Each structure stands twice: as C-alpha cells, then as structure tokens.
Amino acid sequence: MRILDRPEPGRQFLEDRMRAGAHIEQNIKKFYGLAENENSDFRWIKTDLSYPSFDDFTFGYKSSIYSVLVQRVALNGHSYKIQDTGGRIDRLIHECRNNNLVPCIFPVLNENGRPIMPQSWNLINALTWKPADPMKQSSSELAEVSEWEFMNWAVQIVSDYLRNEGLKRLSYCDVLGITPQIWFEDEDGRECWIEVICAKYPNTGSEKHSDYSKWPSEVMSHKGFRAEVSFANAETLSGKIYRTQGADVNFKGIKQIHTP
C-alpha cells in the first residue's frame, strides 16, 4: 500500500481525537501565566494525522514529550480495561522507548467518547499503567532531540515549503524506516513523492543513498524528489542538539531524482 492510499479515519475517531486534544489544551491553559509554567514550556509537536503512525497526537512540556493514543474503553462500575487493538499500544511503547517519549493512553467512554477522568489530564502511562500528569512529571533537565523528532521536524519543514510553493501535500509519514515520507501534487496535478533525508551537522544528508531498485514499482511509476534537511546546535554548530533550545536548519528545497 502506498502512503498515498492511507485509509480514511472514521468520524467517531476524528471526534474522539479532537475532543482529546481540546481536553489536553484546556489543562495546559490552567497554568498559563504562572512563573514556572510559561506558554513556551508547552508545545504541540504533531497535530496532523499521518499514516502509518504510532500515535494520534504528540505534545511536549518542558523537556518531556508525550505520545498519545486515543482509545475507547468500556466502563464496568468504577473500573475499565484498555485492550491493545491491533497492537497499537505495543507499537507506541516500542517507538517511545527508542525515542525517549512518554507513551500515553487517553481513554474515552464507549458510549459517548468522553474522557474517563474528566477532572484530570485523563492520561495513562502505557508503561506503568498509572495516571500521567505532565505538570508534575515533566523534566526540566536537558534532553537530546531523538531521531524521530528530527524526522518529524524535517517532514514539517518540507511540508511548509510545499505549502509556500502553492503545492498540495496529499499525505505524509514520519515513522522512521518508511519511505518515501511525503506525497504531493505537482503543478500539473500529478502525484509525486519526496524522500526526506535528515542529518546532523557536519553531515548534510547527501551521503545517505537509498537503493531505489528495491522500491515498489508502484512508487517508482511516479515522479520522485529528494529533500535534504540538516540540523546544527544553534550556538556551537557542532555537538548535541537539545529539546527546547532550538537549532539551525539547512534546507534548500526539493530536487527531482526520478522520472518514471
């Protein structure tokens, strides 16, 4: 299946996801303006739907990043059971462990999609199965940007470029190891793909080469492009890149690499 052919999400899921995002933002707003909880400490990292994906949305607070799945559950008295439908929770935990993210479940009622614990963050840590509270559990210690964050960042940079060029992005994916990451329509309305390569200084991404001979013929029947995005520590250009501190970005647009 091409990334372009992603399945359309159901209305129920979209409503649950929108309600969950609004609930998280309402909780954050309670702390706006407090001395130790300025707006800049909270940030949405991923709000668009992508396919395939290991979570439904992602947000950060201080140096911690929360990767969230919205899951409907049946309430039995005062208890409920979260089932790992289709292995979603296993995939969430796997990717979060690899990228220093906090894996969370946002449980909602089967009957109406409302949060199970409306007076709280309604987040359950998928590793401990205990409530997650970003205000109490987020770290202020320096944390390096993970490989997934770099890829997500690079994909968003390329997506912004397409938008500024008046080109329509059809779909995208930021899961590591899945290429191409972006499908879009060119000026003639033809479906094209982009392989997004991200690297850290002093590398530029040019040294990374894919073996296109192994790519599916269905993908190679479309015009292909390459986007190289490199990141550097904003202060020293070399060394580690940390969350919340920003980085210098080098991106010079997309380059056609394949003609069917």
> What pLDDT, on the 0 to 100 scale, is given for residue 155?
97
For 136-158, write each residue's pLDDT tens digit.
999 889 999 999 999 999 999 99
Kindly indicate the confidence band of residue 105, based on its pLDDT and cuts at 50, 70 and 90.
very high
Question: Per CATH, which fold does 3-137 belong to?
Answer: Trna Endonuclease; Chain: A, domain 1 (3.40.1350)
Each domain of the chain, given as residue ranges in start order, spans 3-137, 147-258
Question: Per CATH, which fold does 147-258 belong to?
Answer: Trna Endonuclease; Chain: A, domain 1 (3.40.1350)
Decide if 3-137 and 147-258 have a common fold. Answer: yes
Record the pTM: 0.90
Mean pLDDT of the chain: 89
Contacts of residue 197, defined as CB under 8 A and 6 or more positions apart, other chains included, come to 154, 205, 208, 226, 227, 228, 229
Say which range, 43-47, 129-133, 244-248, has the weakest mean pLDDT. Answer: 244-248
Rounded Cα–Cα distance for residues 122 and 132 (Å): 8
